[in-house]
Amino acid sequence: MAPFAPLRVTARLVLTTIKRIAGMPDYEAYLDHLRRRHPERPLPSEREFYDEFVRARYSDGPTRCC
């Protein structure tokens, strides 16, 4: 699979970019963050992460404009 590695990195970058722009949760990025900064904590499942993200995003303040 090695020859495709750069392609996968690019694909991941494109998907992350689209998610960030649309304000979507990015599970992979969160796992990276946890592994780097808090290796002692258990990793949440994708479903747990998604639920928490959506709850936090819409629980205060406007996220968009008129």
Partner 1 sequence: MHLRSLLWLVAGLAGAAGWGVLALHRGETINAAWLVLAAVGTYLVAFRFYSRFLAERVFGLDDRRATPAERLANGRDFVPTSRWVLFGHHFAAIAGAGPLVGPVLAAQFGYLPGTLWIVFGVVLAGAVQDFVILFGSMRRDGKSLGQMAKEETGPITGLLAMVAVLAIMIILLAVLALVVVNALKDSPWGVFTILCTIPIAILMGFWMKIWRPGRTLEASLAGVLLLLLALVGGRYVAESAVLAPYFTYSGLTIAYGIIAYGFIASVMPVWMLLCPRDYLSTFMKIGTILLLALGILIVLPPLRMPAVTQFVDGTGPVFAGKLFPFAFITIACGAISGFHALVASGTTPKMLVRESDARYIGYGGMLMESFVAIMALCAAALLDPGIYFAINAPLATLGGSAEAAAEVIRGWGFTVTPAQLTSLAADVGEKTLLGRAGGAPSLAVGMAVILSGAFGQGLMALWYHFAIMFEALFILTTVDTGTRVGRFMLQELAGQLWTPLGRTSWYPSTILASAAVVAGWGYFLVQGVTDPLGGINSLWPLFGISNQLLASVALCVGTTLLIKGGKARYAWVTLAPLVWVLAVTLTAGWQKVFADDPRLGFLSHAALTARQIASGAMDPARGARLIFNDRLDAVVALAFMLVTLLVVLASAREWILVLTRRRPAVAKESPFVETAYAG
Binding site for partner 1 (CB under 8 A): 15, 17-27, 29-30, 32-34, 37, 45-47, 49-66
Closest CA to 30 of 9, 47, 14: 47
Query: What is the C-alpha to C-alpha distance for residues 10 and 13, in angstroms, rounded to an integer?
Result: 5
Closer CB to partner 1, 7 or 23, in the complex: 23
Smallest distance from the beta carbon of 38 to partner 1, in angstroms? 9
Closer CB to partner 1, 6 or 55, in the complex: 55
Smallest distance from the beta carbon of 19 to partner 1, in angstroms? 7
Closest CA to 50 of 31, 64, 37: 31
Residue 28, CA atoms < 13 Å, CB-side half-sphere = 8
Closer CB to partner 1, 9 or 15, in the complex: 15
